[in-house]
Amino acid sequence: MTINDENIIRQPVGGPPTGKTSLDMEGLSWILFGHAAFQYLNAASELGLYELLEASPGLTQPEIAAELGLAERASSILLLGTTALGTLEVEDGHYRLSQVIADLIKTPDWQRFKDTVAFEQYIVYEGQLDFADSLRTNTNVGLRRIRGTGSDLYHRFSQNPHMESVFYRYMRSWSELANQQLIEKLDWSHTRRLLDCGGGDAVNSIALAKANENLEATVLEIPATVGITESKIAEAGLSDRISVRPVDIHTEEFPSGYDTILFAHQLVIWTPEENTQLLRKAYEALPEGGMVVIFNSMSNDAGDGPVVAALDSVYFASLPAEGGMIYPWATHEECLQKAGFTSCERIPFSGWTPHGAIVAVKQGTNGQS
């Protein structure tokens, strides 16, 4: 039998395995070449391929090459990959966005997605080369690839200005992909004074203050980041309600006078022991009835996903600090319990990122909050 095109069973572009279906050779090859798949996404993102096809659907390869200023061979490679991976569709030589990109590009989340791509490319990618060594030694070996002397990634950003701007653009976007649910799914009606521990450029304090007119916030940040935080607060016109304090949250006590303490994308960085210590300081600083909120990605207690939580954990193992991963919900709950909180509530979020929140209230001595 001769093999011609009709005999070949064409697989629809499937995508990588999810852990819920058994892995076949196609799935295994997605993993094998996963780094290359990402490079197609990054190149298309940097070159503006998706925006071009959003504006001019149906362009041909020579037209795309001319618009992007690419040589014939280069455009063939780019279109081969972006089409084979399912981000584009081609019919009779005319290229269009696939549905998922066409839908996303119309929304504000498109820029947030692109900011995440840039973070993976310019910060995560190289450090992940040390993943196996980081597992062997149970520490973040990849930090050796980041210029500077700080003890963790955050204390090296000021020595790497491009990385610093890529990181804070991404961090704002990553928070914004989920913080609308943080605002809507939690009860902030009792919050008057919020302490935002390691609050970055104040993205979450700003969103919460805009949604709750009686809420005031203080962001605790490392000294090198305070300027970035102050300028974002001023840009939002909230300098009268949000302030920043240069504080090392590990070595200094938390200030009192706050009824709510937020850890946003903070307890994924450190070990469970360090997290317990931070939560204990929060417990001590809060009044009875005060609330602590943990907001970040979570993995399943069963340890089998979601896939994004698993993949994101490679970064936390390799780069930012000695400990950290996308912990299971139960790990955060154990830390809360060891810190003194007697009960807490899980609030899973919807969406493609594995975000969620855990809320715990400091009980009074008679068990009342």
Q: What's the number of CA atoms in the CB half-sphere (13 Å) around residue 170?
A: 18
Q: Which is nearer to ligand SAM, 61 or 196 (CB)?
A: 196
User: In angstroms, what is the minimal distance from the CB of 195 to ligand SAM?
Assistant: 12
Residue 215 as a binder of ligand SAM (CB under 6 A): the answer is: no
Residue 204 as a binder of ligand SAM (CB under 6 A): the answer is: yes
Give me the count of residues in the chain.
369
Q: Which is nearer to ligand SAM, 190 or 250 (CB)?
A: 250
| Pick from 268, 102, 258, 270: nearest CA to 193 | 258
Residue 248 as a binder of ligand SAM (CB under 6 A): the answer is: yes
Part in contact with ligand SAM (CB under 6 A); list of ranges 56-64, 114-122, 206-214, 261-269: 261-269
| Pick from 268, 229, 260: nearest CA to 245 | 229
The CA distances from residue 283 to 293, 336, 360, in Å, are 11, 9, 10
The residue from 50, 95, 154, 316 that contacts ligand SAM (CB under 6 A) is 154
SS3 194: strand
What are φ and ψ of residue 119, in 5° steps?
-60, -45
Q: Which is nearer to ligand SAM, 65 or 244 (CB)?
A: 244
Q: Which is nearer to ligand SAM, 64 or 220 (CB)?
A: 220
Residue 274 as a binder of ligand SAM (CB under 6 A): the answer is: no
User: In angstroms, what is the minimal distance from the CB of 66 to ligand SAM?
Assistant: 40
Q: What's the number of CA atoms in the CB half-sphere (13 Å) around residue 116?
A: 16
SS3 307: helix
The residue from 75, 225, 318, 353 that contacts ligand SAM (CB under 6 A) is 225
Residue 356 as a binder of ligand SAM (CB under 6 A): the answer is: no
Residue 206 as a binder of ligand SAM (CB under 6 A): the answer is: no
Helices (H) and strands (E) in the chain, counts: 16, 9
Interface contacts to ligand SAM, rule CB under 6 A: 154, 171, 175, 198-200, 203-204, 220-222, 225, 247-250, 264-266
